[in-house]
């Protein structure tokens, strides 16, 4: 007699496949060009553009909170998906800049959207958070624990960035992106390839623990700090392997791809990855970083949203998503564009 027969335990019925049904974005109203930040970091518009590809970024105004931006992006994604908000039974928010240790922002986002008792939680996987959320949502739908999942990537990194830090002040920015996942007759989301390298925990981090901040004689915001060159090397070399594995596991090659949507960390990292995986010239590459900076968990959905808005991406295209950041954490998957 098997253990199942003895206990009568049942597992959720697997339901088949999932796909992305809709996408939404919220870009804060305030545009901050390089010229506005260079004096505080003894830099130049030319240096920033050449080293990172960033021309301007957006920083949120006080009313553009993590919750407000999440809800705005989610509403657009719900409308794009053509579902009723009430059909969503799970809300997954990826963020590192919701400033309450607890509770998570996801239940508040769900409540403002008018959802009734959905599962709602945040995930902390930094810049890789959105791709983690898509991986989790895909598995929830396939595993039968949810039918429609809202995945949000949202940040207000301007709150936790030191405007005088030469290594980060020009990089980090604010915004929100959202995607609705739902059931599908055929696979619309490839297997997630994800992992972490905790040996490099200190390469991108909050400078110090909150308790150390509060015990200090002059408490100050524990800003993000980053060892940029080490992150750059890691991302440029290691992430190409992850990208290749995501293609292999989805059963496709670069020749089947229409879009490459990497985390918008640095155009030079994007170029290095594209070269390493031998991306054909015809595959369109997301370059949202130029106007948006690095919005961490929001960067992949914002970048895909812009490609759709600009006509560079079309519904039905195959997109390779890949994101990486503090942890170090990473995740990648192939997605059919909604
Ligand atoms: N403005 C002008 N000059 C700067 C500068 C700035 N903001 N920051 C550093 N420099 C100077 C340095 O002083 C150094 O000068 P030197 O050669 O005379 O000593 C030179 O530029 C190179 O510094 P380095 O730190 O090696 O720069 P870099 O080429 O590595 O570029 C980053 C810096 C941050 C753009 C790059 O490391 C990077 O993009 N890293 C990855 C960041 C990232 O993706 N983070 C998010 C991951 S989620």
Domain of residue 146 covers: 17-184
* Residue having the nearest C-alpha atom to atom 42 of ligand 1: 228
The 10s digit of each residue's pLDDT in 4-51 is 567 788 887 777 899 999 999 999 999 999 999 999 999 999 999 999
Say yes or no: 39 and 173 in one domain. Answer: yes
- Tell me the three-class secondary structure of 13-78, residue by residue: CCCCEEEEEEEEEECCCEEEEHHHHCHHHCCCHHHHHHHHCCCEEEECCCCCCHHHHHHHHHHHHH
- pTM of the entire predicted model: 0.95
- 75 in a structural domain: yes
Say yes or no: 269 and 141 in one domain. Answer: no
The 10s digit of each residue's pLDDT in 137-146 is 999 999 999 9
Say yes or no: 203 and 330 in one domain. Answer: yes
Say yes or no: 125 and 223 in one domain. Answer: no
- 2 in a structural domain: no
Q: Is 232 in the pocket of ligand 1 (CB under 6 A)?
A: yes
46 C-alpha to center of ligand 1: Å? Answer: 13
Report yes or no: 123 and 132 within 8 Å, Cβ to Cβ. yes
- 299 in a structural domain: yes
Say yes or no: 151 and 203 in one domain. Answer: no
* DSSP H or E stretch at residue 204: strand 204-206
Q: Roughly what angle, to the nearest 10 degrees, separates helices 228-250 and 267-276?
A: 40
- 144 in a structural domain: yes
> Which of 34, 80, 98, 127 is an active site residue?
127
Q: Is 51 in the pocket of ligand 1 (CB under 6 A)?
A: yes
Question: Which one of 123, 157, 184 terminates a domain?
Answer: 184
- 328 in a structural domain: yes
Question: Which one of 184, 210, 240 terminates a domain?
Answer: 184
Say yes or no: 35 and 150 in one domain. Answer: yes
Show the low-confidence residues of the chain (pLDDT under 70).
Answer: 1-5
Say yes or no: 140 and 70 in one domain. Answer: yes
Q: Is 96 exposed, middle or buried (0-12, 13-18, 19+ CB in 10 A)?
A: buried
Domain total in the chain: 2
Beta-bridge mates of residue 23: 179
Does residue 127 carry a catalytic annotation?
Answer: yes
Q: Would you state the pLDDT for residue 116?
A: 93
Rounded Cα distance between 293 and 158, Å, is 11
- 11 in a structural domain: no
22 C-alpha to center of ligand 1: Å? Answer: 36
End-to-end CA distance of the chain: 46
Say yes or no: 153 and 208 in one domain. Answer: no
- 9 in a structural domain: no
Mutate which of 38, 39, 228 for ligand 1? The one with the most ligand atoms within 8 Å of its CB, which is 228
Say yes or no: 244 and 168 in one domain. Answer: no
Q: Would you state the pLDDT for residue 4?
A: 55
Say yes or no: 231 and 126 in one domain. Answer: no
Q: Is 325 in the pocket of ligand 1 (CB under 6 A)?
A: yes
- 332 in a structural domain: yes
CATH number at residue 110: 3.40.47.10
Q: Would you state the pLDDT for residue 217?
A: 87
Say yes or no: 179 and 31 in one domain. Answer: yes
The 10s digit of each residue's pLDDT in 148-168 is 999 999 999 999 999 999 999
* DSSP H or E stretch at residue 142: helix 129-143
Q: Is 224 exposed, middle or buried (0-12, 13-18, 19+ CB in 10 A)?
A: buried
DSSP structure class, residue 166 = T
Does residue 111 carry a catalytic annotation?
Answer: no
The 10s digit of each residue's pLDDT in 296-308 is 999 999 999 999 9
Q: Would you state the pLDDT for residue 9?
A: 84
Question: Which one of 184, 211, 229 terminates a domain?
Answer: 184
Say yes or no: 264 and 316 in one domain. Answer: yes
């Amino acid at each position: 007699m098997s253990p199942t027969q003895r206990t009568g335990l049942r597992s959720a019925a697997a339901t088949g496949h999932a796909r992305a049904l809709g996408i939404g974005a919220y870009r804060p109203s305030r545009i901050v060009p390089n010229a506005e930040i260079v004096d505080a970091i003894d830099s130049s518009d030319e240096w920033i553009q050449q080293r990172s590809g960033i021309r301007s970024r957006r920083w949120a105004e006080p009313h553009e909170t993590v919750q407000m931006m999440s809800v705005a992006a989610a509403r657009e994604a719900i409308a794009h998906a053509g579902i009723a908000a009430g059909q969503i039974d799970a809300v997954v928010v990826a963020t590192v800049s919701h400033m309450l240790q607890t509770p998570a922002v996801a239940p508040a986002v769900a409540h403002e959207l008018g959802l009734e008792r959905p599962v709602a939680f945040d995930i902390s996987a930094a810049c890789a958070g959105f791709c983690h959320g898509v991986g989790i949502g895909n598995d929830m739908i396939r595993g039968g624990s949810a039918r429609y999942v809202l995945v949000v990537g949202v940040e207000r990194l301007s709150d936790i960035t030191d405007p005088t830090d030469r290594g980060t002040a020009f990089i980090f920015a604010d915004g929100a992106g959202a995607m609705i996942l739902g059931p599908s007759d055929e696979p619309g989301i490839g297997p997630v390839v994800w992992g972490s390298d905790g040996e490099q925990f200190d390469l991108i981090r909050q400078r110090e623990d909150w308790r150390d901040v509060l015990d200090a004689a002059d408490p100050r915001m524990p800003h993000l700090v980053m060892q940029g060159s080490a992150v750059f090397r890691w991302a440029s070399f290691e992430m190409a392997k992850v990208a290749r594995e995501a293609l292999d596991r989805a059963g496709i090659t670069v020749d089947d791809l229409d879009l490459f949507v990497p985390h918008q960390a640095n155009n030079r990292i994007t170029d290095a990855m594209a070269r390493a995986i031998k991306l054909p010239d015809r595959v369109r590459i997301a370059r949202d970083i130029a106007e948006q900076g690095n919005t961490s968990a929001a960067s992949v959905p914002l970048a895909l949203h812009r490609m759709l808005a600009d006509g560079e991406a079309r519904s039905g295209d195959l997109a390779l998503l890949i994101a990486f950041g503090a942890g170090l954490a990473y995740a990648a998957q192939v997605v059919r564009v909604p």
